[in-house]
């Protein structure tokens, strides 16, 4: 039964996914799960023996006893009838015991596959996550992990038993009814499988189209809801609803085609099986009229074919499910096969931070090969010093922090911390040594306490509160009805921009890293709060090597060194006073911001 074949283009991905899937059926180092698999298969074989051998034969024997017309054998007939009923119950009992025993295997395989995929997604580069829709990725993972349990079930408990049952039925037909019935049954099965495969392949193409449209609709909805505020800003609720409606309508049209094709599949399958049943029954009735068969033989043929048709009736659904499962798993394995852009070197040691000296040596980088962002950056940050990075938008300021965290590797040059090339140490140890307060703070949909505590695993409540005090947010938190247990909402939408940024500062304070990056850390704060947090940040940075990425130059006038970037190059470098004396780009930016501040003060006074 070549159930998993189709055209040449589809065969290789299907078998590739199947080969990768089968090890989950027999997990290494899990003897208890292997015992469950063996026990389930033994129950399958026992159930087949009962339903395919004992039930038809006892039913036929009971009918033969009854047709003899002798009342004295009623007790034997009743016993045979009871044996038939017991066999029917035994088949149901064994099937359910098999399912109960095997469920742990399926769920464990699903869990391990989900964990493996989740871990790999977190290992992928920032580039991958910026280019993929979150809703589409989660849908692929959900479908792929859910399909493995169904695949295990159908392969073991439908396809394999059907093949065994077919062999038993053929053997019994050969022995009791001759070669002709065997040939007719074989032709029926071949025609049934051929028809099922052709129609299901057609339905699979419809299903793939439907899944693509479903994924697109979900991704569209998730993207729209994540940008809820933007939709409101531009009064675009109707526009978003129309776009989502178009996606849903396309999915509905595809679903109608898919369901209609299912009706044609069921009609064709029923025609083939009922034609076979009619022919086989007519043949045995004719043989009974010639004295070749008994009335019980007629019942045996009917029961055997009914037992064979029961799994065959599900063949279209099973084949479709297996094909769809292979497609879903192939998509998920595609995620697992996505190479990680940034990898640890073989045998990489952990980063050892002694003083925290940072050096960029002729660093070049571009997010796209044809568009270079950094064009040979050279600078050094002394241990415990504060370097401020300023410049026009698009100059590459935030790219420096991404490279330092090793979200990307430079296309040229190298980055050193205490003389160690960060490309040669483990990423985990590198990121443990660096803390960041990003410009755009995204929080988990959990409590404020959880989001602050995320800075250091295992931090106690006292430590969390101390970090909140350092970020000037403790008083705000305790003023909430639920205090530190207050929910912040998805992406922290229940908090203002300033409150979110203070949470980010608090969790970085809790992490207590030797190297600190402040990427527009106070950009969303009012002047009073900014002054308070600037004082806190200055105290924190005093004993750390710090890189401050700033837009407002007034916040970095006390920096030990200021780096002015322009078009991916270091345009100027020095402290605040020396850069003003140079009367270059920095002095121009300073004068412009001072003029803007004076205008704002004048407008406020009016």
Q: What is the pLDDT of residue 9?
A: 42
Q: Please say if the pLDDT value at position 16 is more than 60.
A: yes
426 burial level (CB within 10 Å; 0-12, 13-18, 19+): middle
231 burial level (CB within 10 Å; 0-12, 13-18, 19+): middle
Residue with tokens 């299901």: 200
Higher pLDDT, 446 or 231: 446
Q: How far is CA 314 from CA 3, 77, 101, 125, 199, in A?
A: 13, 34, 22, 43, 14
- Could you tell me which residues are beta bridge partners of residue 396? none
Nearest to residue 33, comparing CAs of 86, 112, 87, 96? 112
Q: Once rounded to an integer, what is the mean pLDDT over residues 56-65?
A: 62
Confidence of residue 379 (pLDDT cuts 50, 70, 90): very high
| C-alpha to C-alpha distance for 38 and 285, rounded to whole angstroms | 42
Residue % of the chain over a pLDDT of 90: 11
Q: Please say if the pLDDT value at position 399 is more than 70.
A: yes
Confidence of residue 364 (pLDDT cuts 50, 70, 90): very high
Higher pLDDT, 153 or 399: 399
- Could you tell me which residues are beta bridge partners of residue 249? none
Cα–Cα–Cα angle for 17, 22, 25, nearest 5°? Answer: 145
Where exactly are the structural domains of the chain?
21-337, 358-433+513-605, 444-503
Q: Which CATH class is domain 358-433+513-605?
A: alpha beta
- Could you tell me which residues are beta bridge partners of residue 574? 562
Q: What is the pLDDT of residue 2?
A: 39
Q: Once rounded to an integer, what is the mean pLDDT over residues 99-118?
A: 79
Asked if residues 552 and 559 have their Cβ atoms less than 8 Å apart, the reply is no
Higher pLDDT, 409 or 91: 409
Q: Once rounded to an integer, what is the mean pLDDT over residues 411-416?
A: 92
Read off the pLDDT of residues 74-103 as tens digits, 9 standing for 90 and up. Answer: 555 566 566 656 666 766 777 788 778 877
Q: How far is CA 355 from CA 26, 441, 541, 544, in A?
A: 51, 29, 14, 9
Q: What is the pLDDT of residue 527?
A: 65
Nearest to residue 217, comparing CAs of 255, 250, 254? 250
CATH code reported for the domain at 21-337:
1.20.1560.10
Mean pLDDT of the chain, nearest integer: 79
Q: What is the pLDDT of residue 362?
A: 93
Q: Most confidently modeled of 91-95, 204-208, 481-485?
A: 481-485
Q: What is the pLDDT of residue 4?
A: 39
Residue 394 backbone phi and psi in degrees, to 5? 85, 5
**Three-state DSSP string of 41-67:** HHHHHHHHHHHHHHHHHHHHHHHHHHH
Read off the pLDDT of residues 442-466 as tens digits, 9 standing for 90 and up. Answer: 788 889 999 999 888 888 999 999 8
Structure tokens at 394: 């698009």
Q: Once rounded to an integer, what is the mean pLDDT over residues 385-399?
A: 85
Q: What is the pLDDT of residue 425?
A: 93
Structure tokens at 81: 């009838």
DSSP tag of 353 = -
DSSP tag of 561 = E
Q: Once rounded to an integer, what is the mean pLDDT over residues 213-228?
A: 79
Q: 21-337 and 358-433+513-605 share one CATH topology?
A: no
Higher pLDDT, 200 or 242: 242
Read off the pLDDT of residues 288-314 as tens digits, 9 standing for 90 and up. Answer: 787 777 777 777 777 777 777 777 777
Q: What is the pLDDT of residue 361?
A: 93
Q: Please say if the pLDDT value at position 268 is more than 60.
A: yes
Structure tokens at 532: 């308070």
| C-alpha to C-alpha distance for 260 and 258, rounded to whole angstroms | 6
Q: What is the pLDDT of residue 300?
A: 77
Structure tokens at 47: 């159930």
Q: What is the pLDDT of residue 490?
A: 74
Cα–Cα–Cα angle for 525, 126, 467, nearest 5°? Answer: 35
Structure tokens at 209: 């189209």
Higher pLDDT, 70 or 24: 24
Higher pLDDT, 513 or 319: 513
Higher pLDDT, 164 or 605: 164
Structure tokens at 134: 């979150």
Q: Once rounded to an integer, what is the mean pLDDT over residues 380-388?
A: 90
Cα–Cα–Cα angle for 478, 483, 487, nearest 5°? Answer: 135
Asked if residues 133 and 223 have their Cβ atoms less than 8 Å apart, the reply is yes
Q: What is the pLDDT of residue 430?
A: 92
Residue % of the chain over a pLDDT of 70: 82
Confidence of residue 140 (pLDDT cuts 50, 70, 90): confident
| C-alpha to C-alpha distance for 565 and 206, rounded to whole angstroms | 53
Confidence of residue 7 (pLDDT cuts 50, 70, 90): very low
Read off the pLDDT of residues 521-571 as tens digits, 9 standing for 90 and up. Answer: 666 566 666 666 677 677 666 678 989 888 888 888 888 899 999 888 889
Q: What is the pLDDT of residue 526?
A: 63
Q: Once rounded to an integer, what is the mean pLDDT over residues 113-133?
A: 74
Read off the pLDDT of residues 337-350 as tens digits, 9 standing for 90 and up. Answer: 778 778 888 889 99
């Amino acid at each position: 039964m070549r159930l998993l074949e189709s055209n040449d283009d589809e065969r290789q991905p299907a078998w590739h996914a199947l080969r990768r899937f089968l090890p989950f059926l027999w997990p290494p180092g899990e003897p208890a799960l292997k015992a469950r698999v063996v026990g389930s298969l033994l129950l399958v074989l026992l159930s087949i023996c009962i339903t395919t051998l004992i039930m038809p034969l006892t039913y036929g024997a009971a009918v033969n006893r009854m047709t003899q017309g002798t009342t004295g054998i009623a007790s034997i007939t009743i016993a045979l009838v009871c044996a038939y009923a017991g066999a029917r119950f035994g088949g149901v009992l064994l099937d359910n015991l098999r399912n109960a025993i095997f469920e742990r295997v399926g769920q464990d395989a699903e869990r391990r596959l989900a964990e493996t995929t989740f871990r790999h997604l977190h290992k992928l580069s920032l580039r991958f996550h910026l280019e993929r829709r979150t809703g589409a990725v989660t849908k692929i993972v959900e479908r792929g992990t859910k399909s493995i349990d169904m695949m295990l079930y159908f392969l073991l408990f439908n396809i394999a038993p059907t093949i065994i049952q077919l062999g038993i039925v053929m053997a019994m037909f050969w022995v009791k009814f001759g070669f002709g019935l065997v040939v007719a049954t074989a032709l029926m099965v071949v025609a049934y499988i051929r028809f099922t495969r052709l129609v299901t392949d057609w339905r699979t193409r419809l299903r793939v189209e439907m899944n693509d449209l479903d994924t697109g609709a979900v991704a569209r909805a998730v993207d729209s809801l994540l940008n809820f505020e933007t939709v409101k800003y531009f009064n675009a609720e109707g526009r978003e609803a129309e776009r989502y409606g178009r996606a849903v309508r396309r999915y509905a049209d595809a679903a109608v085609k898919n369901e209609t094709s299912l009706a044609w599949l069921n009609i064709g399958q029923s025609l083939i099986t009922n034609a076979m049943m009619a022919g086989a029954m007519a043949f045995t009735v004719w043989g009974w009229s010639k004295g070749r068969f008994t009335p019980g033989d007629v019942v045996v043929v009917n029961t055997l074919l009914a037992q064979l048709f029961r799994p065959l009736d599900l063949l279209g659904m099973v084949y479709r499910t297996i094909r769809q499962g292979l497609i879903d798993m192939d998509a998920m394995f595609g995620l697992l096969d996505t190479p990680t852009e940034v990898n640890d070197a073989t045998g990489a040691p952990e980063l050892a931070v002694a003083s925290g000296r940072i050096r960029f040596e002729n660093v070049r980088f571009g997010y796209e090969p044809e568009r270079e962002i950094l064009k040979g950056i050279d600078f050094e940050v002394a241990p415990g010093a504060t370097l401020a990075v300023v410049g026009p938008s698009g100059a590459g300021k935030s790219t420096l922090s991404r490279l330092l965290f090793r979200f990307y590797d430079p296309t040229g040059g190298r980055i050193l911390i205490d003389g160690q090339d960060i490309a040669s140490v483990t990423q985990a140890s590198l990121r443990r040594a660096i803390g960041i307060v990003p410009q755009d703070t995204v929080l988990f949909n959990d409590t404020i306490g959880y989001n602050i505590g995320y800075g250091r695993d295992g931090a106690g409540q006292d430590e969390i509160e101390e970090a909140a005090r350092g970020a000037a947010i403790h008083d705000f938190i305790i003023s909430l009805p639920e205090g530190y247990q207050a929910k912040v909402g998805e992406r922290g939408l229940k908090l203002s921009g300033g409150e979110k940024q203070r949470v980010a500062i608090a969790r970085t304070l809790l992490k207590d890293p030797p190297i600190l990056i402040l990427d527009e850390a106070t950009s969303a704060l009012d002047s009073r709060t900014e002054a308070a947090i600037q004082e806190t940040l200055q105290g924190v940075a005093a004993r750390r090597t710090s890189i401050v990425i700033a837009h407002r130059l007034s916040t970095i006038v006390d920096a030990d060194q200021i780096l002015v970037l322009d078009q991916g190059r270091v345009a100027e470098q020095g402290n605040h006073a020396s850069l003003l004396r140079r009367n270059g780009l920095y002095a121009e930016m300073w004068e412009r911001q001072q003029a803007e501040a004076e205008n704002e003060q004048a407008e406020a006074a009016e």
